[in-house]
Amino acid sequence: MAFFKEFKDFALKGNVVDLAVGIVIGAAFSAIVKSLVDDIITPLILTPLLEAARIKNIQELTWGAGIKYGNFLSNIISFIIVAFALFIIVKGINATRKKEETKPAAPPAPSNEEKLLMEIRDALKSRP
């Protein structure tokens, strides 16, 4: 049973949960960014450039068969956007954790024994 308790403590530790959430969100966000770059940004940038160079097909720009530098540039842009977004998310999480750490903990309430001792002390002080 100690093994399972140790595993539970490890799996539910804040860092592990944060990592799991980050991976899931990162994978989902990566697909959105890839679509943004492939379907919107790249055509907006490449179409005017190809028209200015009087090229109808991007394949005319390749120097060898199968070179897909457009895909490579798309992946670089996707990586930069995902890395920046994760940086912003981690920075926000760290700021939240710092705020939580600065809050002082409330002092514990006195136990019954302490209350009884305080009553005795007060009774002794009030004696003439």
Q: Tell me, what's the pLDDT at 69?
A: 65
Q: Break the chain into its structural domains and give their ranges.
A: 2-126
- On the 0-12 / 13-18 / 19+ scale of CB atoms within 10 A, 66 is exposed
Longest dimension (CA), the chain: 108
The predicted-structure confidence for 18-65, as pLDDT tens digits, reads as follows 777 778 777 877 877 777 777 777 778 777 877 887 777 666 665 554
For residue 85, the model assigns a pLDDT of: 80
Tokens of 86: 């994760």
Q: Which pLDDT value is given to residue 67? A: 54
Give residue 30's pLDDT.
80
Q: How far is CA 25 from CA 28, 30, 58, 65, in A?
A: 5, 8, 33, 36
Q: In this predicted model, which residue has the larger pLDDT, 68 or 108?
A: 108
- What digits encode the pLDDT tens for the residues 68-104? 666 667 777 877 887 788 788 778 777 776 776 666 7
The DSSP result for 17-71, as a single string, is HHHHHHHHHHHHHHHHHHHHIIIIIHHHHHHHHHHHTT-S-GGGG-SSTT--HHH
What is residue 87's predicted lDDT score, i.e. its pLDDT?
80
Instruction: Report the SS3 class of residue 108.
Output: coil
Of 10, 22, 44, nearest to 92 by C-alpha is 22
**Quick one: which H or E segment has residue 39?**
none
Give pLDDT, residue 11.
Answer: 63
